[in-house]
Amino acid sequence: MNNTPKHWHHLPPDEVSVLLESDVTQGLEPLEITRRQEHFGFNRLTPKKGKSPLVLFLLQFHQPLVYILLAAAVITFALQEWVDSGVIFGVVLINAIIGYIEESKALKAIEALARTLDGAATVIRAGKKQKIAAAELVPGDLVLLQSGDRVPADLRLLQIRELHIDESALTGESVPTHKQIEQLSLETVLADRSNMAYSSTLVTYGTATGIVVATGDDTEIGHINTLIASADVLATPLTRKINHFSKILLWVILVLAGLTFLAGRLHGESLLDSFMASVALAVGAIPEGLPAAMTIMLAIGVNKMAHRHAIIRKMPAVETLGSTTIICSDKTGTITQNQMTVQHIYAGGKRYALFGTGYTPAGEITLDASKINPGTQPVLLECLKAGLLCNDSRLIQNDGQWLIEGDPTEGALIVAAAKAGLRQDVLERDFPRIDALPFESQHQYMATLHVLDTATALIYVKGSVESILARCETICGNDLQPQLLNKECIHQEVEAMAAQGLRILAFARKLQPASNQTVNHGDVAEGLCFLGLQAMMDPPRQEAIAAISACQKAGIQVKMITGDHAATAAAIARQIGLAGAVENKTEHFAVNGHTLAMLSDQELIKTAQQAVVFARVAPEQKLRLVEALQAKGHVVAMTGDGVNDAPALRQANIGVAMGLSGTEVAKEAADMVLTDDNFATIEAAVEEGRAVYDNLVKFITWTLPTNIGEGLLVFVAVFFGLTLPITPVQILWINMTTAVLLGLMLAFERKEPGIMARPPRQPEAPILTRELGFRIGLVGLMLLTGAFVFFEWALAQGKSIETARTLAVNMFVFGELFYLFNCRSLRYSMFKLGAFSNRWLLLGVTTMTLLQIFFTYSPTMNTLFGSAPLDMIEWGFILSGGLLVYGIVGIDKWLRRRAENGKDS
C-alpha cells in the first residue's frame, strides 16, 4: 500500500478501501498498523527547520544604519568617551533584541498549526472500537465521527447520518456543509467535496464513518502548512526606504570623511589630527537618534492602536498600515456577523421583511414597509412554526450573549420565530414531536410528526425549494385553507431572493390521522400543502460598511476574498458598497476559484487588479492573489480568521487576524490582531498608521539638517585649514540630547487635518519629497552659517576657543529647538494645530533649555565637554539665529501653501 495522492472524492467508497487495503467493517490489523506507522510516520505536521536563535539574533545587526551606529560606538570608544559609546551601543542592542523577539513570535504560526492536530480519535481496529491519540492514525484507519468531534485526519466518508461539518476555518464557507457519500466529478473544488471530511474541521451535527486517506503533511491542512513555510516575509515600505536611505548615507559619510582626511593632510595636519577631523565629521553626520526614534515612535503607535482594539505583533506593521493601497478581506466573520439571519419570508402570497441583528431574538416584522402584528397573519405564523418545530437546534444565552447549539441555519429559523413571539419550549410542549425523518442529502428535506389534537397529527417539512415544491399540490392561504398552487409564481419569488444572495428554505405541512404514530418518506412524497419560504443570509456588519466607505475615500481599494459561493459573496459586496469599485460590474465584479485556476500568472495579475470579489477560493489561490497584487507594486493588507487564511496573511505586507473568532494559526501568522473582530478597527488602524508615518517623516526632516550642518561645518573648517568650531564629543552631546528631548516629542503630535482624505503614499515614493529635501538643505545651511559666523566672530573678539565653541554648540541646539516648532506640521503653521496642543513637546523644549544652561555654566560640564559661560549679548545672538530659522521656514511653508491654493483654484 502506498499513499500516492489520489482524487479521493472522485472514487467510489469500495474502490477507496481497496486502494488503501483496508477492511470497511474490521479496520486494520495491529501488525499492519505498526508497518504503516513506520512507513508514514505520525499524524503530525513537520515544522520547517529555521535559523538558529543565534543566527536570528545576529541578523538583526545586518542593516546599513546599524553598521553606521556600530562604527560610531567603536569610534567613541576609541576616543575613550565611555558614556557616549555605551549609549550608542545600547540603542543598537535594544533594537536588535526587539527585532529578535518580534521575528521569533512571527515564526510560531507553524507550531500553532501543528497543535491543531493534537487530540483523540475514535477508530475501529481489528473489529474493535477504541479511542487513540490522533497522532497514531495511519492511512486506511476507520474513524468514527460524532457531533462535537474535530476531524483528526483527511477522511473519505463511507457511512453518514445527518452529518454536518463546519469547514469555515479551511474553506471560508459560513454554513456547515451537508455531507454525503456519493462520488463526485474530478473537477470538484475543495469547498464542494461533500464526500470528504478534512483534518481540523469540526463536526456540528450527525455521525459518520470514514477511512483515513491522508495524515500529517499530506492532509489539506498539511499543504497549508507548506504554504505558510514558503510564504515570504516581506520588508515593509518603511524598512525598505530606511535601508535605502541608510546605504546612501553610509557612502556619503565615508566619501566626506575620506575627503576631510585628505584635506587635512594637504594643509599639513598630522595623521592623528586629520583622522580625528574625519571622526568628527562621521560622528556629526550619523543620525544616532534615528533608530531609537523609529522604535519609540512605532511603540507609541502600537500603544495607541491597542486602545483602538488593534494589537500589533510586529512594530513596522504600524507604518505599513498607513501605506496600504489594497485591503483583501475575508467575508465570513470579518465583514459579516457570522450569524445566519432570516431576512425575508414569503407566505400567503406576501413578502415580509424581518429586522434585528444576529441571534438576538428581537426585531420587527414588516409588510410593505409597515410594522405588523404577526398574530394577525395565520399563514406567516404557520410558516414560522414549521421552522421552529422541524428543528433540532437550540438558542441559548451564555454570559449575556445569544448562541446557537447546532446548525446555524436552523438557529436562524428559531430567531425568526422568536421575533413573532413564538417560543420553542412552549410550542414543543403544545405540539409534542412523535417521530422525525432526518435531513439526508439525497432527499433534501427534513420532516417531523407532531400531535395536533386527539384525532389529528401534523407533519411539518422543510428543505430545498425543488424537493418541497415537487411534493406540494396546494398552498395554504391566509386562512390556512388549501388553495391551488401556482409553482411558477413561487419560482419567480425564489429567483428574486436568490439574486440578493439569500439562502432559501421552503416549508410545507400535511395533516394525517393521529393513529399514525410514524412518518416515512412515502407519507411526504405527495399531498403536502405549501406554507412559504424563509430566505436568510449572514448579514454584513453595519460598522464594516462605514469603514469600507472611509477606506475608499482614503484611496484604498477593498477586495473580498472568500470560500463562499459567488452569488452570496457578490450580494454582500453590493450591500457594503463594493459594487462601485469597478466600471464594468458584470464582467469584472466577481470571479470564482475555478476561473482563477485556469489563469496564467499574467492573466491573474490583470484579473486581480480588476475584480472585486473572489469566491470559492482555495488557500493557495488566496496566496497567489496576494502575490499578484504585490507584483503590481501594491502594499497589501490581508484580513482573515481561518486556517485557510494563514499563508496569505504571512505573505501580505500586513496580515490582520480576528482576535475573537480567529484561529490560533491565523493570529500567529498575522502582523495585527483585532480584539473586537471589527473591520471598522482596520480603518482606525490605517489612520493611526498614517499619523505614525507622518511623525517619522517630521522627525527625519527635523534631525537631518543638524547632521548635514555638523558634517559640513567640520568639512569646511578642515578644507580651509581652520580650527574645528565643534569637537566630536560636543557633536555627540548635541545629537543624543536633542534627539531624545526634542525630536522624540514629535511622536506625540496629533493627526493632521484631512489625514484620511488623501490617497495612499506610492509604495516606491521616497521618504522625503523634493520640497522637504530643499527645506532640510536650507536649514542645514542656516545652522552651518550661524555656527560658523558666531564661532569666527567670538574668536575675532578675543574670546577663548571654549567660548566660541559653546556659541556654535548653542546655535545648533537652539536652531533645532526653534525649527522643531516648524516641524510640528510640514505644511501648516503650528498655530493651526494649536500652539499648546503637544504638551510633551513643550516639556521637552523646557528640559532641553535647562540642560543647555547646565551645559554652558556648570564647571563639571565645562571640564567634560570643553564648554564655557556666555554673556547676555552672546545669548541674544543665539536666540536671534533660532528665530531667523523659524521665520524663514515659516515663510517657505506659507509661500508653498499659497502656490498650491492658486493651482487648486
DSSP class per residue in 594-654? HHHHT--HHHHHHHHHH-SEEES--HHHHHHHHHHHHHTT--EEEEE-SGGGHHHHHHSSE
Average confidence (pLDDT) over 93-97: 72
Q: By 3-state DSSP, what share of the chain in percent is helix, strand and coil, each rounded to 5?
A: 50, 20, 30
DSSP 364: -
pLDDT at residue number 249: 77
Average confidence (pLDDT) over 587-604: 85
pLDDT band (50, 70, 90) for residue 104: low
Asked which of 223-227, 231-235, 287-291 is least confident by mean pLDDT, the reply is: 231-235
Q: Which residues touch 847 (CB under 8 Å, ≥6 apart)?
A: 741
| CA 635 to each of CA 30, 382, 561, 655, 666: distance values in angstroms, whole numbers, following the listed order | 54, 53, 16, 11, 20
Specify burial of residue 271 (Cβ count, 10 A radius: 0-12, 13-18, 19+).
Answer: exposed
Specify burial of residue 441 (Cβ count, 10 A radius: 0-12, 13-18, 19+).
Answer: middle
Q: Contact 850/762 with Cβ under 8 angstroms? A: no
DSSP 781: H
**Half-sphere exposure (Cβ direction) of 594: Cα atoms closer than 13 Å:** 9
What would the grid cell of residue 356 be? 434585528
What end-to-end distance do the CA atoms of the chain give, in Å?
A: 78
How do strand 672-674 and strand 654-658 relate by DSSP bridges? Answer: parallel
pLDDT at residue number 114: 42
Alpha helices in 49-197 (DSSP H): 53-58, 64-78, 82-106, 109-115, 168-171
Cα distance between residue 219 and residue 190, in whole Å: 12
pLDDT band (50, 70, 90) for residue 331: confident
What would the grid cell of residue 189 be? 473544488
- Provide the percentage of residues in the chain whose pLDDT is more than 90: 40
List the one residue out of 790, 854, 695, 806 whose CA is nearest residue 318: 695
Cα distance between residue 522 and residue 529, in whole Å: 15
pLDDT band (50, 70, 90) for residue 113: very low
Average confidence (pLDDT) over 741-750: 88
Cα distance between residue 360 and residue 401, in whole Å: 8
What would the grid cell of residue 343 be? 431576512
pLDDT band (50, 70, 90) for residue 567: confident
Over 80: is that where the pLDDT of 46 sits?
Answer: no
What would the grid cell of residue 269 be? 595636519
User: What is the residue-averaged pLDDT of the chain?
Assistant: 84
Q: Which residues touch 182 (CB under 8 Å, ≥6 apart)?
A: 195
| CA 866 to each of CA 415, 480, 726, 810: distance values in angstroms, whole numbers, following the listed order | 80, 102, 10, 13
Q: With b meaning 16 or more CB within 10 Å and e meaning fewer, what string describes 90-104? A: ebbeebbeebbebbe
pLDDT at residue number 201: 85
Q: Is 4 helix (H, G, I), strand (E, B) or coil?
A: coil
Neighbour count for residue 522 (Cβ, 10 Å): 7
Q: Contact 635/275 with Cβ under 8 angstroms? A: no
List the one residue out of 114, 309, 321, 330 whose CA is nearest residue 225: 114
Neighbour count for residue 859 (Cβ, 10 Å): 9
Q: Contact 309/462 with Cβ under 8 angstroms? A: no
Give backbone dihedrals phi and psi of 239, rounded to 5 degrees, phi first: -65, -35
Which residue has better confidence, 182 or 229? 182
List the one residue out of 645, 594, 599, 598 whose CA is nearest residue 622: 645
**Residue type at position 63:** Q
Q: Which residues touch 665 (CB under 8 Å, ≥6 apart)?
A: 109, 112, 113, 116, 228, 643, 646
Assign 3-class secondary structure to 431-475: CCEEEEEEEECCCCEEEEEEECCCCEEEEEEEECHHHHHCCEEEE
- Provide the percentage of residues in the chain whose pLDDT is more than 70: 88
pLDDT at residue number 6: 67
List the one residue out of 526, 572, 576, 574 whose CA is nearest residue 550: 576
Average confidence (pLDDT) over 523-543: 92
Sheet-wide strand order for 654-658? 310-312, 672-674, 654-658, 636-640, 326-329, 557-561, 613-615, 590-592
DSSP class per residue in 714-755? HHHHHHTTPPPSS-HHHHHHHHHHHHHHTGGGGGGPPPPTTT
Ramachandran area for residue 849 (φ above 0: left; ψ -120 to 50: alpha; else beta): alpha
Over the stretch 858-905, which tens digit does the pLDDT of each residue have? Answer: 999 999 888 999 999 999 999 999 999 999 999 999 998 888 776 654
| Catalytic residue check, 479 | no
Q: Contact 749/824 with Cβ under 8 angstroms? A: yes
Average confidence (pLDDT) over 346-367: 93
pLDDT at residue number 641: 73
Average confidence (pLDDT) over 83-93: 68
Which residue has better confidence, 537 or 244? 537
Which of 149, 330, 523, 538 is an active site residue? 330
Cα distance between residue 27 and residue 21, in whole Å: 10
Q: Contact 149/140 with Cβ under 8 angstroms? A: no
Over 80: is that where the pLDDT of 770 sits?
Answer: yes
Q: Which residues touch 399 (CB under 8 Å, ≥6 apart)?
A: none
**Residue type at position 863:** T
| CA 708 to each of CA 289, 313, 638: distance values in angstroms, whole numbers, following the listed order | 14, 35, 40
Over the stretch 442-499, which tens digit does the pLDDT of each residue have? Answer: 788 999 999 998 899 999 999 999 999 999 999 999 889 999 999 999 999 999 998 8
Average confidence (pLDDT) over 618-640: 87
What would the grid cell of residue 501 be? 444572495
Q: Helices 679-719 and 801-822 meet at what angle, rounded to 10? A: 150
Average confidence (pLDDT) over 529-533: 97
Place of cell 418541497: 468
Which element (helix H / strand E) includes 663?
none
Q: Contact 444/242 with Cβ under 8 angstroms? A: no
DSSP 357: -
Chain-centroid distance, C-alpha 200:
22
Which residue has better confidence, 358 or 603? 603
Over 70: is that where the pLDDT of 809 sits?
Answer: yes
Q: Is 28 helix (H, G, I), strand (E, B) or coil?
A: strand
Which residue has better confidence, 97 or 414? 414
Chain-centroid distance, C-alpha 531:
44
Most confidently predicted of 238-252, 544-558, 562-576? 544-558
**Residue type at position 437:** L
Q: Contact 368/495 with Cβ under 8 angstroms? A: no
Cα distance between residue 748 and residue 841, in whole Å: 8
Over 50: is that where the pLDDT of 106 sits?
Answer: no
pLDDT at residue number 116: 45
Cα distance between residue 878 and residue 790, in whole Å: 8
Q: Measured at the alpha carbon of residue 883, what is the angle toward residues 881 and 884, in degrees to the nearest 5? A: 65
Over 90: is that where the pLDDT of 688 sits?
Answer: no
List the one residue out of 400, 236, 412, 394 whose CA is nearest residue 337: 412
Cα distance between residue 869 and residue 856, in whole Å: 5
pTM higher than the cut 0.75: no
Over 60: is that where the pLDDT of 5 sits?
Answer: no
pLDDT at residue number 65: 59
Over 90: is that where the pLDDT of 419 sits?
Answer: yes
pLDDT at residue number 585: 45
Cα distance between residue 553 and residue 757, in whole Å: 6
Give backbone dihedrals phi and psi of 199, rounded to 5 degrees, phi first: -50, 135
DSSP 150: B
Chain-centroid distance, C-alpha 52:
28
List the one residue out of 321, 353, 501 whose CA is nearest residue 419: 353
